[in-house]
Amino acid sequence: MGDLLMSLPVVHALKHSFPEARLTLLIKQDLLPLLEGHPDLDRILAFDPAEGKGWTAMLRWGSRLKSHQFDTALVLNPTRLFHVAVFLAGIPRRIGYRRKWGFLLNAGLEDTKSIRKRREVDYNLELLEALDIQNPPVELSLPTTAAQDEEAERLLHLNDPTGKPAPIALHPWTSNPVKGLPLDWFKNVAEELNRRGRAVVWIGEPGSGPRAGGLAPGLDLTRKIPLRLLPAVLKRCALLISNDSGPVHAAAAVGTPVIVVAPESHKPALERWKPIGQGHTLLFSPTAQETIDAADQLLSKGSLDADRPGLGK
């Protein structure tokens, strides 16, 4: 999810620069619900990683892409599979970083990511220089429909006319446990938030293992939020406190501030993958109290609860 959302500013910049162009995004099948109906996209092609990565898959995807007669291909996440596929598809202009058989590109940029300190979104956007797009806008958004907003409100029980403060979402999981803080740490944060009268909502997919001790206090929506509703749910939260993960970028895309927590050892990587936009905070090996203090500072700005319905009983 993080890779995908860090790519969306490229899509927006292309639509801004070439409004008449038809833009197609090729993404993994399980992420499709997140982008259905996105206004910057004319079409989405989805693939299942289970289709394979060998020559059979390369030939198959080369044929599929050739049938669409694309003029240009941008390979934002270098893979041998799609470098071969766009070459076999005969796409005239093939742009990307020269790694993983990048010699098959004809507008490749040298891959110097390992020696530079830039955000991932900036690496993606610099590929647009091959299309003479200079200083593109850095914009990330995930629009939601009225129907999605209504479903999110039902999930969050946003039916309290007394106007309680909007909830704070907690997401204690990450793709690699080495780059995250443990579940017990998040429980301590939840307990302190509860003592201060803030409603807590737990979100995410904790995997197949059991949750030790359950998630309390708060509303447990883990495994209960369809991906298509995640932006609408996060939009109704005053704040997200999370390990480094995809929902961090989904929250940023809907304007919800994020506190990203991580071990000190993850600092170099997180600086590259920090969320887009203003009002976000990165904390490394913080105590629960330090995180609460950072949340108080963000919430004291007063705007975070504005236009976000209160959490009902």
Nearest to 250 by CA among 293, 219, 280, 285: 280
Residue 159 pLDDT class (50, 70, 90 cuts): low
Range of the structural domain that residue 70 is part of: 2-131
4-19 average pLDDT score: 96
pLDDT tens figures, 187-213: 999 999 999 888 999 999 876 444 545
**Are 102 and 108 spatial neighbours (Cβ–Cβ below 8 Å)?**
yes
Residue 306 has pLDDT above 60, yes or no: no
* pLDDT for 34 beyond 70: yes
158 and 289 belong to one structural domain: yes
214 pLDDT more than 70: no
If asked whether residues 171 and 284 sit together in one domain, one would say yes
Residues 68, 155, single domain; the answer is no
Task: Provide the pLDDT for residue 211.
Answer: 55
The answer on 219 and 118 residing in a single domain is no
12 vs 303: which has the higher pLDDT: 12
Q: Is residue 2 pLDDT above 80, yes or no?
A: yes
The per-residue pLDDT for 46 is: 94
Q: What is the pLDDT of residue 209?
A: 45
The total of structural domains in the chain comes to 2
| pLDDT band at 239; cut points 50, 70, 90 | very high
Residues near 243 by Cβ (< 8 Å), separated by ≥ 6?
Answer: 171, 172, 173, 174, 179, 180, 181, 260, 261, 262
User: In the predicted model, what is the mean pLDDT of residues 273-292?
Assistant: 93
The alpha carbon of 312 is separated from its chain's Cα centroid by a whole number of angstroms, namely: 28
Please determine, for residue 304, whether its predicted confidence score (pLDDT) is greater than 80: no
Q: Is residue 141 part of a domain?
A: no
- Does pLDDT of 253 surpass 90? yes
Region 253-259: mean pLDDT is 96
Same domain, 243 and 271: yes
241, pLDDT greater than 90: yes
- Angstrom CA distances, 149 to 34, 227, 234, 235, stand at 14, 13, 10, 9
Residues 97, 234 within the same domain: no
Amino acid letter, 277: G
Average pLDDT, the chain: 89
Phi, psi of 284 (to 5 degrees): -115, 120
